[in-house]
Amino acid sequence: MTRLLIIGPPGSGKGTQAEHIARHFSIPAVSTGEIFRSNVNEATQLGKEAAKYLDDGDFVPDHLTNAMVKDRLLDADAQGGFLLDGYPRTASQVSELDNMLASQGQRIDAVIELLAPDAELEQRMLQRAKEQGRKDDTVDVFRRRLDLYHRETHEVVSVYAGRGMVVSVEGSGDPDEITERAIAAVEKFLTA
Ligand code: ADP
């Protein structure tokens, strides 16, 4: 049973790494950004409420995000562990996740911090924009997302670092090698 978080700036390849790392540990990768995007595509009530925040690169309000994560983590496939990608993104979401897990007698085992220099991120995002056509992958919206990452999400890493739970992984280079490094680092941390 492994419960992991992955935290990294937009354009760091966090979503792809999350998928690969989760497969290795036989746990589902739960991406809040993906869940929001599929709700927007399917025009659900949540999608309608979340769309403008995604389009502007802003955080979706906590009451929507927290409820969505709480529901998702109660699904049967998440009972044997999970890798959360994109949540928590603020200190208040950290407390919310702590409470959600504590009510189930659970806790996070490790937090993967994916490091990548800012200079590379915009280039990667522009490449992804061509490949995937994500609506929020424009230079202006991307800068907003990166700015929010630095202002808000950095604190999330600090909170978990204070708990001695952060495994930092260099996120530049060949994606498969990054996956290998991340898996090795997490396994070492979990068995230490
Ligand atoms: P990235 O990390 O590249 O910005 P994500 O796919 O993780 O992309 O998130 C896309 C968007 O989904 C965010 O810009 C935000 O609007 C919304 N979102 C995802 N996770 C959260 C969260 N934990 N809290 C609030 N909004 C979120």
Which tens digit of pLDDT belongs to each residue from 66-103? 999 999 999 999 999 999 999 999 999 999 999 999 99
Q: Which residues contact 177 (CB under 8 A, 6 or more apart)?
A: none
pLDDT for residue 63: 96
Closest CA to 4 of 20, 25, 33: 25
- Alpha-carbon gap, residue 147 to 137, rounded angstroms: 14
User: What pLDDT is stored for residue 165 in this prediction?
Assistant: 97
**Distance from Cα 192 to the centre of ligand 1, integer Å:** 32
pLDDT at 1: 84
Range list of H helices, 42-136: 45-56, 62-73, 91-102, 118-132
Please compute the mean of the pLDDT values over residues 182-191 and round it to a whole number: 97
pLDDT in tens, 150-173: 999 989 999 999 999 999 999 999
Evaluate: CB of 13 within 6 angstroms of ligand 1.
no
Task: Please choose from 84, 89, 146, 153 the residue to mutate so as to test ligand 1's pocket, defined by most ligand atoms within 8 A of CB.
Answer: 89
- The 10s digit of each residue's pLDDT in 3-37 is 999 999 999 999 999 999 999 999 999 999 999 99
Question: What percentage of the chain's residues is helix, strand, coil (to nearest 5)?
Answer: 60, 15, 25
Q: Which amino acid is at 128?
A: R
Cα 191 to ligand 1 centre (Å): 31
pLDDT digits (tens, 9 = 90+) for 97-151: 999 999 999 999 999 999 999 889 999 999 989 999 889 999 999 999 999 999 9
Tens digit of each residue's pLDDT (9 = 90 or more) over 29-59: 999 999 999 999 999 999 999 999 999 999 9
Q: How is residue 60 annotated by DSSP?
A: P
Residue 180 CB contacts under 8 Å (≥ 6 apart), including other chains = none
Edge-first strand listing for the sheet containing 81-85? 29-31, 81-85, 2-7, 110-115, 166-170
Domain coordinates in residue numbering, the chain? 2-191
Superfamily per CATH, domain 2-191: P-loop containing nucleotide triphosphate hydrolases (3.40.50.300)
In this structure, which residue's CA is closest to atom 15 in ligand 1?
59
Interior angle at CA 88, CA 61 and CA 107, nearest 5: 135
Q: Is residue 178 over pLDDT 90?
A: yes
